[in-house]
Amino acid sequence: MTLTALETPALLLDRTRLERNLERMRAHVHGLGAVLRPHVKTAKSIDVARRALAGEPGGITVSTLKEAEYFAAQGIRDILYAVGIAPAKFAHVIELTRQGVELKVIVDNLAVARALAGAAQQARVTVPVLIELDVDGHRSGVAPEAPLLIAIGKVLNDSAGVELRGVLTHAGGSYDLRGAAAIADMAERERRGTVQAAERLRAAGCAVPIVSVGSTPTATFARDLTGVTEVRVGVYMFQDLVMAGIGVCSVEDIALSVLVSVIGHQPERGWIITDGGWMALSRDRGTERHDVDQGYGLVCDVSGRPLRDDLIVATTNQEHGVLTRRDRGAIDLARFPVGTLLRVLPNHACATAAAHTHYHVVDGESPEVVARWERFGGW
Amino acid sequence: MTLTALETPALLLDRTRLERNLERMRAHVHGLGAVLRPHVKTAKSIDVARRALAGEPGGITVSTLKEAEYFAAQGIRDILYAVGIAPAKFAHVIELTRQGVELKVIVDNLAVARALAGAAQQARVTVPVLIELDVDGHRSGVAPEAPLLIAIGKVLNDSAGVELRGVLTHAGGSYDLRGAAAIADMAERERRGTVQAAERLRAAGCAVPIVSVGSTPTATFARDLTGVTEVRVGVYMFQDLVMAGIGVCSVEDIALSVLVSVIGHQPERGWIITDGGWMALSRDRGTERHDVDQGYGLVCDVSGRPLRDDLIVATTNQEHGVLTRRDRGAIDLARFPVGTLLRVLPNHACATAAAHTHYHVVDGESPEVVARWERFGGW
C-alpha cells in the first residue's frame, strides 16, 4: 500500500528516523554508564516499546495504569508508574502486583506512603516504591535536602507492604530552556539532586538501588551520570518541533507526522484548507513562545521535506487546518490543487499521537506504507 | 457504583444537564420553524445521539467518515458529512452510498464537484451534495454572492452521479464574539447569506430543498430562521467554559467534567497536584483571551459545584494538573488531602471528550454512576 491509498488525516511514523533516534540516545546514555528505562507514554505501542527496549536490561516507564496493564499483558513485567500514586489506585496496583508484575510506584508525601503500606499489608503483597524528588520547582516531589525525604524513606523502609527501591526525578523545567549549555546545566542539577537524595537516604540506613532521572532534553545534553542508574525518556523516540525549537534535535529527526489532504482554498486570503484540524494535530501550541512559532505544525511535501514556501498550519478547526506562509506572503495555490497530500510535523509528539488509534509506518521518503502499528489511549 | 469507585481521571456526563440542554435548543429551534440536525462530533456516542435526535425528523451531522460509518451501522441512515470532500475519500463515500446510507457531502469548488460526479457516475451511484458557503470569512466555502456559486450549482444539477440538495454554512466566527446582541447579529448574517445563496440557485433553475445553518452560539441567539430548513449544532449538548465565557450558557449548564484525584501538594507554592493533566483535559486554552481565563479548567467539588476558593487548573503536564486559586492567593491545603476527588469543567467539550473512551453518566449532584456510554475517536 502507498500513502495515496490512505484516508486522511492519518498518522505516519518514519521507521528510519525512529531507529536513528533510539540508537543515538541509547549510545549516549550507555556511554555515560547508565541504562534506559524508556517511557512509553509518547508511543503507547508495543511495536515501538520493543524497539526502544532492545539492548536495555531494565523495564519501561508508564504514565497510566492502563499502560501498565497493557504492557504487562504484552510480556513486559518491570514497570515504573511515574505519576504519584493516589489511594483510589491502590486496588489496581495490588491486583497487578498479585499477577506477578514488578510494578513500582512513586510517592512524595507521608500520608500516601503510610496508606499504601497499610493497604498492601492487608492484601499480603509488597509494593516496590520510589520517592519522587523535585529538583526544578516544576511540579511534584520532595526537595533532595528536605527532612521529609528521610521521614518518607523511614516509613517505606520500616513498613511491611512496601519496599523502598530508590529515588526518581523528572527535570521537566528543561522544556523551558534553550540550547545545549543551559540544558546541560539542568541535567547536572537533576543528577546532583537525585544522587544527593540517594546518599542522604543511604546515610540514614536505607538501601537505594535505583537512582532514576530523565527528560529528553536533559538526557540528550547530560555530560555526566555518575551515581545515576537509569534514564527515563519518551519524546526522544519521535522528537517534535518543541524539541527542535529548544535545540534537542533537528527538524529532520522528527519521525512523526500527520498526512493531510488539501480540500480547498480561499484565494483572496492566500489560504490552503486541509482536512487536518486540531483533532488530528492536537491543540498543543508548544512553539508559541519559541523564536520560531510553528503554528499548529510545519508543512512538508508528501515525502516529508519542508516546503520551500515555508508553510505552517496557521489556524485550525476541529477537522480543518488553514495553511499559510509563515510570513503571510502569497502562495502559488496552483501548486497545491485539491487532493494534494502533505505531511505536517507536530509541535508535541505525545499530544498529536494521542489523537490517533494507529501508526502507518513508512521508511524515509518512500511512499510505501510498510506496516500498521496499533496504539491506545484513555485510562 | 459511586464516583469513589472510579479510577481517575474519568470523564463524567451529567444526564440531567444534558437533557436540559437538548430540550432548550430543541424548543428554541422548533419555535423558529426549523428542525435540528444534531452534530455528533462533540459526543461521538450513540447514546447521546439518540437523545439529541428524539423528536427530530432529520438525521445527523458528522465530521469524519468514521462517524458516518459508525452511526450508519447503528441505524441512522440520513447523514451529512460537513467537511469538504476530498478525492481520497470518494471511494468510501461511494461504498456507504451503495450500502443505502443517505450520505450527503459538501463541496466549495468546481474541481471537486466535477471529480466527484465522474467517480460516482463510474460507480453507478448518485451522491447527494450541498454547496458550502462562507458568510463570515472563517474558513471554507463560497461567498453567497459569488458567480462561482451558480457555476458549482450547474455542475451538480447537470451531472449524473451527483444531485444538488442544498446549501450549508457554519458561522464559526461566532465563537469569537461576546454576548447575545453580537451573536444574534451574526446569526442573522448566517441566515441571510444562506437564504440568499439558495434563492440565487433557485433563480438559476436549481432545486434547493435543504438550507442548513449552524453553530451553537448563532443557534442559541437566532431570532429568525425564515427560509432555513435545518440547524446543525453539537457543543450545545454538553456546553463548556468557552460557551459560558461568550454568554451562550451558564457554568451550571456544563454537563461534562473530568473527575480527578488530589495526588500531592507543594505547600510553599500553594499548589494542589492532581492526576488530571492535559491528556485528560486537552490542551485547549479557549478561554485564554476571555474576560475570565479559566486556565485548563474550573475546579468543582465532587458534586459538581464550583469551589468557593475559585480554583482553576493553572498548569498541566501530560498526567498532572496543578491547581491554584485564580488570584494565586493562599489555599487551605488541609481541606484537600491526598485522595480528594474533584471535578474539572472543560474549556472545550469537543477536545476534552476526545481524550476519553467512554462517559461515566451521573445525575446532577448524586454520587451514583448510573450508566457507562461508549465513545470513539480517530479516523
Domains of chain B, residue spans? 3-10+249-374, 15-236
B375 touches chain A (CB under 8 A): no
Contacting residues for B106 by C-beta, under 8 A, at least 6 apart: B80, B81, B82, B83, B84, B85, B129, B130, B131, B132, B168
CA distance B314 to B309: 14
B89, B279, B338 member nearest A111 (Cβ): B338
B-chain residues within 8 Å CB-CB of A8?
86, 88-89, 379
pTM above 0.95, yes or no: yes
ipTM for this model: 0.97
Interface of B with A in 184-203 (CB under 8 A): none
Cell digits of residue B1: 457504583
Which pLDDT does position B375 carry in this prediction?
98
CA distance A93 to B226: 60
Contacting residues for B63 by C-beta, under 8 A, at least 6 apart: A279, A318, A319, B39, B41, B81, B82, B83
CB contact under 8 A, B108 and A264: yes
Cα of A355 to nearest chain B Cα, Å: 6
CB contact under 8 A, A283 and B280: no
Whose cell is 455542475? That residue is B155
Between CA A113 and CA B371, with CA A93 as vertex, the angle to 5 degrees is: 115
A-chain residues within 8 Å CB-CB of B265?
109
B39 touches chain A (CB under 8 A): no
Helix (H, G, I), strand (E, B), or coil: what is residue A18?
Answer: helix
B9 prior amide bond cis, ω within 30: yes
CA distance A44 to A66: 10
**B15-236 CATH fold:** TIM Barrel (3.20.20)
Is the domain spanning B3-10+249-374 CATH 2.40.37.20? The answer is yes
Residue B335 burial (CB count, 10 A): 10
B86, B282, B322 member nearest A261 (Cβ): B86
Q: Which residues, listed in sequence order, are joined to residue A133 by a DSSP beta bridge? A: A142, A169
CA distance B45 to B41: 9
- Answer whether B241's CB lies under 8 Å from B294's CB: yes
CA distance A17 to A256: 9
Residue whose C-alpha is closest to residue A352's, from A316, A328, A326: A316
- Closest alpha carbon within chain B to A62: B319
Cα–Cα distances (Å) from A364 to A8, A341, B135, B149, in that order, read: 19, 16, 42, 42
- Closest alpha carbon within chain B to A108: B264
- Closest alpha carbon within chain A to B142: A266
Interface contacts A/B by beta carbons within 8 Å: 174
- Answer whether A375's CB lies under 8 Å from A74's CB: no
Which pLDDT does position A130 carry in this prediction?
98
- Answer whether B271's CB lies under 8 Å from A138's CB: no
Res. B58: pLDDT tops 90? no
B137, B264, B350 member nearest A109 (Cβ): B264
A9 prior amide bond cis, ω within 30: yes
Q: Average the pLDDT over A124-145 and give the result.
A: 96
- Closest alpha carbon within chain A to B378: A356
Out of A69-73, A92-96, A257-261, A267-271, least confident range: A267-271
- The terminus-to-terminus CA distance of chain A in angstroms comes to 33
Cell digits of residue A102: 514488578
- Closest alpha carbon within chain B to A143: B266
Whole-number percent of chain A with pLDDT over 90: 98
A360 touches chain B (CB under 8 A): no
pLDDT tens string B220-239 = 999 999 999 999 999 999 99
Whole-number percent of chain B with pLDDT over 90: 98
Helix (H, G, I), strand (E, B), or coil: what is residue A70?
Answer: helix
- Answer whether B219's CB lies under 8 Å from B258's CB: no
Q: What's the CATH number for A15-238? A: 3.20.20.10
Helices of type H across chain B: 15-31, 46-53, 65-73, 90-98, 110-122, 147-158, 179-203, 216-221, 241-245, 278-281, 349-354
Handedness of CA A93, A98, A104, A109 (dihedral sign): positive
Pairing of strands A230-231, A35-36: parallel
Length of chain A: 379
Which pLDDT does position A214 carry in this prediction?
95
Which pLDDT does position B85 carry in this prediction?
97
A352 touches chain B (CB under 8 A): no
B-chain residues within 8 Å CB-CB of A348?
283
CB contact under 8 A, B263 and A86: yes
- Angle formed by the axes of helices B147-158 and B179-203, to 10°? 50
Q: Which residues, listed in sequence order, are joined to residue A168 by a DSSP beta bridge? A: A132, A212
Domains B3-10+249-374 and B15-236 share a fold: no
Which pLDDT does position A55 carry in this prediction?
86
B64, B273, B358 member nearest A319 (Cβ): B64
CB contact under 8 A, A350 and B318: yes
Q: Average the pLDDT over A202-230 and give the result.
A: 98
At residue B57 the predicted structure's pLDDT band, cuts being 50, 70 and 90, is confident
pLDDT tens string A111-129 = 999 999 999 999 999 999 9
From the number of C-beta atoms within 10 Å of its C-beta (0-12, 13-18, 19+), residue B35 rates as middle
B-chain residues within 8 Å CB-CB of A109?
264-265, 338
